[in-house]
Each structure stands twice: as C-alpha cells, then as structure tokens.
Homo-oligomer: A and B are copies of this chain.
Amino acid sequence: MPRAIAESARASGRQVFILALRGSSEDWVSNYPHEWVSLGETGKAFRALRAGDVGDLLLAGKVGRPKFSEIRLDAKSVMLAPRVMAAALKGDDALLRSLVDLFEREGFHVIGTAEAAPNLVADAGVLTNRRPTSNDERDIELAFKVARALGELDVGQAAIVCAGLTLAVEAAEGTDAMIARIMALPEHLRGTATNRRGVLAKALKPVQDRKTDLPVIGIQTVRNVAAVGLGGIAVEAGGALIVDKHAVAQEADKLGLFIVGVAA
C-alpha cells in the first residue's frame, strides 16, 4: 500500500521522500530518497523530514500497536509520549489524529492519500463485468449501515452481509481474518464458489480523519472474498482506495465477483 501510494505520487509529478519505520517498512524504500527510524526516534524523524525538504506529509501503512514499555524514547518522544499514549487509549482513530496533530504542530502539512495519489481513490460505479443484483444492493445497503455504526464507535470498517443477515463484523482482527471466518458458517447462510452470494462492504468511519487510514482493497481482498463464496465488494466512492484498479478488476472478472463504488 505505501509503495502504491509512493508510485502514484511520483507519477503525478511529486518529489517523494520516505521516512521508513524499522520493522514495518520494506526494502523498496531504497528506490526513493529515504531515512530509516525506529518508534521512539521522534527527534531523528523530524530532522530527517526537514533534511528531505518535506512539505506535504502522508501517513501510510499499517503499524501494529507496540508495547510502549519496549520502545526506547528519545528526548522529543519523552515530551510527546503522554499525549500520544492518552490518545492511544481512546482507540485507533484518536491515536491517528494525535499523530497528525503532532506533525502539523512541527510545521508539516499532512495530506491524505486521496490528495497524494488520486488515481487510487475508488470512483462511483461498477468496476467489473458482474453487476450487483437488487438483492446484492439490499445487502450492500445493510452492510454499509452496520460498518458505519461500528465505525462511529471506532470498532472497525467492514461488514459482511448475505441475504439480509449480517454474517461478520470487523473489530481488532482485521478484514482478512473477518472474511476467512465466513467459511466456518453453515453453507445455507452464505454463498459458495458455484453460487456466489453476499457482499463485503468497507466504509470510511464517520469519525475518521480522511488524512489517515482510508479503507483499502487490493487483489488479495478480491481473492479472499472469492474464496469464501461472496458475490462482491462494495466501497465508498471517494472514501476508499483500490490498489491497482486494473489488476483488481481483472482478477474480480476472472473470479466472477462484482466491485462497486457507492456514493455515501
């Protein structure tokens, strides 16, 4: 995901500098001007960003919640840690907002993926050969409703609905684990590879800062959804990212799924 954003941002004419987090970032960062930092090296991070002449800043990628007690904090981090830890206790969204705030106080202009890499943003409309049926549309509507209700409480972004029944709801386990457990449900509640039914919806949390953590789908999401017999995927137009739309649409067509962007 961060790689797709970097590529898209460079393709759109931006100069890209990567601040890579040790333990999370990958080798491809060496294709760009970059600096490696560890969690807790806040002072070094700010210095590197300034040396890299960074103006617009984007937070991207997934960082597991670390054990705070195992992080070695530099002086700057010690100053900032209380505020960040207090935010962390309030949930993922609060934590992300506090990080955005922290960078903005240092003078960086935090932007969202939609701005940095506009060609990743989901458009309204059907991306695939298969189109949602009216039954699918009812399931999509309910799935968004459930996902948004959860999002309001900062629980998760995704829900799976089949024939009016909510089969699964995302919390800390993440979307992939949520999709996988559909297979454990009785077959008459869900679809199968030969009779695809049900939809995965991913919605922007209503409380979510669009600068952080937009819902994202990619080719692996398509494969996971297909493997558990679902009929398709719905995302919020303008409020979700699709990594490599062309490849995602091609894979969905191969597997017989629909992908649809729905206006909020």
Interface set of A (CB-CB < 8 Å, partner B): 64-67, 89-92, 142, 145-146, 149-150, 152-156, 159-160, 163-173, 177, 181, 184-186, 188-189
Contacts and interface: CB of A to CB of B under 8 A. Distances in A.
Contact of A155 (B152, B169, B188): B169
A89 B153 CA distance: 27
B164 A168 contact: no
B154 A166 contact: yes
Contacts of A177: 181, 184
Given A65-B186, A169-B169, A173-B181, 20 more contacts: A65-B165, A65-B189, A66-B188, A89-B163, A90-B164, A91-B165, A91-B166, A145-B153, A149-B152, A149-B153, A150-B150, A155-B159, A155-B166, A156-B166, A166-B172, A168-B172, A172-B189, A173-B184, A177-B184, A181-B181
B163 A167 contact: no
A89 B186 CA distance: 16
Contacts of A146: 150, 153, 155
A136 to B, nearest CB: 14
Contact of A165 (B64, B66, B163, B172): B172
B164 A91 contact: yes
A185 B168 contact: no
Contacts of A153: 142, 145-146, 149, 166
Contact of A188 (B65, B167, B169): B65
Contacts of A145: 153
A65 B149 CA distance: 25
Nearest to A152: B149
A89 B164 CA distance: 6
A167 B156 CA distance: 10
Nearest to A68: B188
A70 B159 CA distance: 29
Contacts of A171: 159-160, 166-169
A1 to B, nearest CB: 20
A185 B169 contact: no
Contact of A150 (B67, B89, B149): B149
Contacts of A92: 165
Contacts of A142: 153
A165 B153 CA distance: 10
6 contacts: A89-B163, A90-B164, A153-B166, A155-B169, A166-B172, A177-B184
